[in-house]
């Protein structure tokens, strides 16, 4: 019997090839392990993470009892997990108000998965996955593996990377920080300030003093570091919608699911339940494409709510009669499948 036929009959190979699987980024998974959180909280987090990945907006609306059932937990344990994950900055939850289909019942809370600041600060220290070009450049002997070897594991990190423009690409963690510290300590105060500004503004060059203590080779390394940092995608903290409004592929402003849920709840509080749905539609259009677009989403929502409470809100001009927030909602991706 050939090895290929034997692998096809192996239930482990069939499990990987045919069944659904979840996506768990290794840096995030190991960070959760290092925090020592209970296994129940990890189950709850990964359930919302997978749902957020499939939706494409990192948000999910899963009833509390369904979370408990899918995680094999009781409701009180799920509630404690939400409290712990919220304090750690791993999730954010909001109350969207009443359920439109049942005004006497509360709607399902909206949960957004997030990356804690501690993980964001060390995200660049973790190795990246190999690109397609790196895979094709490997020798053919490397690609031939014995049966049973897990090919999903990333290749070992090489000590040298001649294709990378980063001169410190072979260093990881403390070694990289130590090498950068040696370069910055040799700079003068003016050079150090120029270097920090170049890093902050993603510039590929900086000016050195005429009597700089850095050698020609050290200055070349500094310029290469700046160039590599300018090319790499910047890892930033979570930005709130008040400072950075979300836009779609066509450049149109889009309210996040979190902003929509809060706006829906506030409108239900400010007015009767029968008029809440139509008012929400009008306010969302005004914030995304109407007169309130020039304000930040939070400021625009406060203006609209004040007019609604004072009964001074009127239907926006030029608003399409059949417009709906769902018309430009982000697409829902298919569940992950084995290739």
Quote the pLDDT of residue 143.
47
pLDDT bracket for residue 140 (50, 70, 90): low
What is the reported pLDDT for 5? 65
Tokens 């829902």, residue?
A: 332
Q: Which residues of the chain are in CATH 1.10.10.10 domains?
A: 3-121
For residue 92, the cross-strand partners are: 112
Residue 257's pLDDT is: 83
Query: What pLDDT, on the 0 to 100 scale, is given for residue 237?
Result: 42
Q: Looking at the whole model, is its pTM more than 0.75?
A: no
CA–CA dist 21, 150 (Å, integer): 15
3-state helix, strand, coil in the chain (%, to 5): 50, 5, 45
Q: Which of 207, 57, 25, 200 is nearest to 128 (CA)?
A: 25
pLDDT in tens, 27-37: 999 999 999 99
Please, are residues 300 and 312 in contact by the beta-carbon 8 Å criterion? no
**CATH code of the region 3-121:** 1.10.10.10
**Is residue 82 scored above 60 in pLDDT?**
yes
pLDDT surpasses 70 at 160 = no
Residue 203 backbone dihedrals phi, psi, to 5 degrees = -85, 150
Of residues 81 and 330, which shows the higher confidence score?
A: 81
Residue 139: its pLDDT value, please? Answer: 54
Q: Quick one: 332 exposed, middle or buried, by C-beta within 10 A (0-12, 13-18, 19+)?
A: exposed
Query: Of 224, 182, 177, 180, which is closest to residue 205 (Cα–Cα)?
Result: 224
Residue 150 has pLDDT above 50, yes or no: no
In the chain, what percentage of residues exceed pLDDT 90?
Answer: 15
Kindly indicate the confidence band of residue 86, based on its pLDDT and cuts at 50, 70 and 90.
very high
pLDDT single digits (tens) 230-241: 765 544 444 443
106 C-beta neighbours (distance < 10 Å), count: 12
How many C-beta atoms lie closer than 10 Å to residue 288's C-beta?
22
Banded pLDDT at 41 (limits 50, 70, 90): very high
């Amino acid at each position: 019997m050939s090895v290929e036929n034997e692998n096809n009959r192996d239930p482990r190979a069939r499990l990987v090839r045919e069944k659904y699987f979840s996506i768990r980024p290794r840096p995030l998974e190991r960070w959760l392990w290092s925090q020592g959180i209970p296994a129940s909280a990890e189950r709850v987090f990964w359930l919302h993470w997978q749902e957020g990945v499939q939706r494409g907006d990192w948000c999910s609306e899963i009833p509390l009892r369904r979370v408990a059932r899918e995680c094999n937990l009781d409701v009180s344990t799920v509630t404690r997990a939400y409290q712990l994950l919220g304090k750690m900055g791993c999730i954010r939850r909001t109350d969207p108000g009443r359920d439109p289909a049942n005004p006497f019942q509360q709607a399902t809370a909206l949960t957004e998965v997030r990356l804690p600041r501690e993980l964001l600060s060390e995200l660049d220290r973790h190795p990246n996955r190999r690109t397609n070009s790196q895979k094709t450049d490997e020798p053919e002997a490397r690609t031939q593996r014995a049966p049973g070897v897990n090919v999903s594991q990333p290749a070992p990190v090489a000590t040298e990377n001649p294709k990378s423009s980063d001169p410190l690409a072979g260093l990881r963690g403390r070694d990289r920080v130590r090498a950068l510290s040696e370069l910055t300590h040799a700079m003068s105060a003016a050079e150090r300030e120029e270097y920090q500004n170049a890093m902050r503004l993603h510039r590929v060059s900086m000016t050195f003093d005429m009597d700089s203590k850095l050698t020609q080779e050290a200055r070349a390394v500094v310029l290469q570091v700046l160039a590599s940092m300018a090319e790499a995608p910047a890892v930033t903290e979570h930005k709130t919608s008040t400072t950075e409004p979300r836009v779609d592929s066509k450049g149109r402003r889009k309210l996040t699911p979190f902003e929509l849920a809060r706006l829906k709840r506030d409108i239900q509080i400010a007015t009767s339940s029968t008029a809440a749905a139509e008012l929400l539609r009008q306010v969302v259009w005004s914030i995304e494409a109407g007169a309130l677009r020039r304000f930040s989403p939070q400021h625009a929502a406060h203006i609209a709510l004040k007019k609604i409470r004072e009964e001074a809100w009127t239907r926006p001009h030029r608003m399409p009669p059949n417009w709906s927030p769902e018309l430009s909602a982000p697409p829902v991706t298919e569940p992950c499948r084995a290739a």
